[in-house]
Homo-oligomer: A and B are copies of this chain.
Amino acid sequence: MKQYADMSAAELSAVKKELEDAFSKYAENGKKLNMTRGVPSDEQLALCNEMLTCLSAEDYHSINGADCRNYGGLDGIPEMKKIFAELLDLTPDEVIVGGNSSLSLMFDNVAVNMSHGVREGQPWNSQGQVKFLCPSPGYDRHFTICKYFHIGMIPVAMGPDGPDMDMVEKLVSSDPMIKGIWCVPKFSNPTGIVYSDETVRRFANLKPAADDFRIYWDNAYAFHDLGSTKAVIPNIIRLCEKSGNPNMPHVFASFSKVSFAGASVTCMASSKSNCEYIRKRLTAQTIGPDKLNQLRHARFFKDAAGVMAHMEKHAVILRPRFRLVYETLRRELDGLGIARWTEPEGGYFISFDSLDGCAKRIVALCAQAGVALTPAGATYPDGSDPHDANIRIAPTCPPLSELRDALEIFCAAVKLASAQKLLS
């Protein structure tokens, strides 16, 4: 196997010609394949179909006696709080259950800190230009929240153990206008890496210049292991208690990729004291989340062990998809010196890095050949990848046969874009 960089111009041109011919045929085939989003597959959704009918005219009461069909309750029925608490190794009074979208919980949290301040603090929006640290590549929807609130975004490099903690510590301790950081600590979106114990420990021991600095700990893939050995990350809330900064972390979790992405339950977790503040706000904000859907979840999953057993069924479905990506990328691209990628043991994404300056071209080539990918750059603040190299691969939704076709085209696009780049 010869690296592209070691090829002569003639060799590269031959490669290029061959691939261009292949692409003409792909375009003619007119296939439409979609790898844009981290969307559960039909098979995964079917795992929960029983939830569609698990309540009845005889079963709609919560364990606390509340009629879940009626008004009442702001922060979740006891059984759902208990399940989240068990899963996150917290107590139920550290949990606030929300509706279908954990993104809303994060948005609201940022919104209220901007307009009303953190707890009794000064509103962020009255203090000057607020900034957030944005480990990148990261989740585009986090960055969209910052953009919406005109919050400055400072990219921080992501490594195999998490964000560059030297940089995080330096910035957070020196700049009081840095008010937050976005983290996806387990199977990070999109790199799939798991924060190391040391990374989490350093997060808990941050000494922010701003006393209203908050860690947005979006544990979106907390239960989403593919392998038989489960990845475990330290409990950020307990560690922050120990470090004397108990109110610093805001943890988010979601059943969007556990039950139904279109009818889920989500939660926010934080110190008891923070939760009390949030409940006060909820009184003004809402008559409360859908309780029947919480009860459906509690009936179907029963407890945290039920959730974990269910996640193993997801893993059985997803494992072959991730394996297919790894096998195809290795077979097609290993040794060519034109690509690097992660091979996570959980989550929903694989992060792919091409040669610098090739990502947009690869995505465009795929689009011409009928394969839709997440826009290049989407994983960086403002949609702008300084290296134009990162692409997020989302293998969960397409059936295996479609995924195979899509990956063939993707690898060809990587090769063609690389050859074009090296010849230019």
Write the residues of chain A forming the contact surface with B, with a CB cutoff of 8 angstroms: 37, 39-40, 42, 45-46, 48-50, 52-53, 55-57, 60, 67-73, 99-101, 103-104, 107, 111, 114-116, 125, 141, 144-145, 147-149, 256, 260-264, 281, 283-293
Contacts and interface: CB of A to CB of B under 8 A. Distances in A.
B263 A69 contact: yes
Nearest to A72: B262
A262 B68 contact: yes
- Number of this chain's copies in the assembly equals 2
Nearest to A100: B290
Contact of A115 (B48, B100, B125): B125
B52 A292 contact: yes
B115 A149 contact: yes
Contacts of A264: 290
B53 A56 contact: yes
A42 B55 contact: no
Nearest to A60: B52
A78 to B, nearest CB: 14
Contacts of A262: 67-73, 288, 290-292
A318 to B, nearest CB: 15
Contacts of A281: 148
Contacts of A285: 103-104, 107, 148
A274 to B, nearest CB: 18
A149 B125 CA distance: 14
A179 to B, nearest CB: 15
A16 to B, nearest CB: 38
A284 B115 contact: no
17 contacts: A45-B67, A46-B57, A48-B69, A68-B262, A68-B263, A69-B263, A70-B260, A72-B262, A99-B290, A100-B288, A100-B289, A101-B287, A107-B284, A107-B286, A141-B287, A262-B292, A263-B290
Contact of A288 (B71, B101, B147): B101
A67 to B, nearest CB: 7
A109 to B, nearest CB: 12
A145 B256 CA distance: 30
Nearest to A145: B284
A114 B39 CA distance: 34
Contacts of A99: 99-100, 289-290
A298 to B, nearest CB: 14
A70 B114 contact: no
A37 B71 CA distance: 9
A115 B71 CA distance: 30
Given A50-B57, A262-B291, 6 more contacts: A42-B67, A49-B56, A53-B53, A69-B263, A71-B261, A99-B289
A262 B69 CA distance: 5
A72 B101 CA distance: 12
Contacts of A73: 262
